[in-house]
Structure 1
Amino acid sequence: PGSWPAWKGAWIHVLSLSRTPASAEICQSFADIIQGLFLGTPASFEAAVEPFKPDADMKAAATQLKTLVDLLPKNTKDSILKLMDKIAKSPLCA
């Protein structure tokens, strides 16, 4: 979406890259879910989660989580995304 600072797209790209065999590979769908959680609409977040066939309780919990995240101030969401980027690029995740 348009005018993201470069790090917002970069962390999603980093998460989608294959990892060394010693660490788990982060699938693109997970990156899409996180993007939807912090940057998307409720509908886009729900669409990203739906392929995993969540049960009713999981859907309700995901909806509640999205609602709570949407209440966070923009600078708080930006700081969380920066932290995720820092973690994903860390040697601890390599």
Structure 2
Amino acid sequence: MKLAIIITLAILALCCSPASAGICQRLVGIVQALYLGTPASFEAAVEPFKPDADMKAAATQLKTLVDFLPKNAKDSILKLMDKIVESPLCA
């Protein structure tokens, strides 16, 4: 479960990098599907980016790990993500 959190925070770090002109709304949709969606909706959200077989396998594994998190942990992570995205540090 810690791996899922670490990977999610790494994704957030990429979103808020100085090189970013803003957060890609598609990435926001992928993160929402990761935490709130079904495995099929998460796969559908990622598919437009044409992941290779290894990427698909890793994404499936990540979704499985996230699905094992308790609801209150998922809710807290999503609140943290919102806080990070809205922070002046990500501007």
TM-score if structure 1 supplies the norm length?
0.74
SS of equivalent to 1:72: coil
1:67 aligns with 2:64: yes
Residue 23 of structure 1 deviates from its aligned partner by 4.1
2:77 counterpart letter in structure 1: I
Superposition CA RMSD, Å: 1.5
Residue 24 of structure 1 deviates from its aligned partner by 2.8
TM-score if structure 2 supplies the norm length?
0.77
Residue 51 of structure 1 deviates from its aligned partner by 0.3
Determine if contact 1:38/1:69 at 8 Å carries over to the other structure. yes
Count of residues in correspondence between the two structures: 74
Calculate percent identity across the aligned residue pairs: 84
Residue ranges of structure 2 left out of the alignment (5+ in a row): 1-17
- Poorly superposed stretches of 4+, deviation over 3 Å: none
The answer to which structure has the higher helix fraction is 2
Cα distance change, pair 52–23 in 1 and its aligned pair in 2 (3 A): closer
Cα distance change, pair 23–58 in 1 and its aligned pair in 2 (3 A): closer
Match of 1:31 among 17, 28, 32: 28
Per-residue Cα deviation, 1:54-93 (whole angstroms, up to 9, x for no partner): 0000000000000000000000000100100110111101
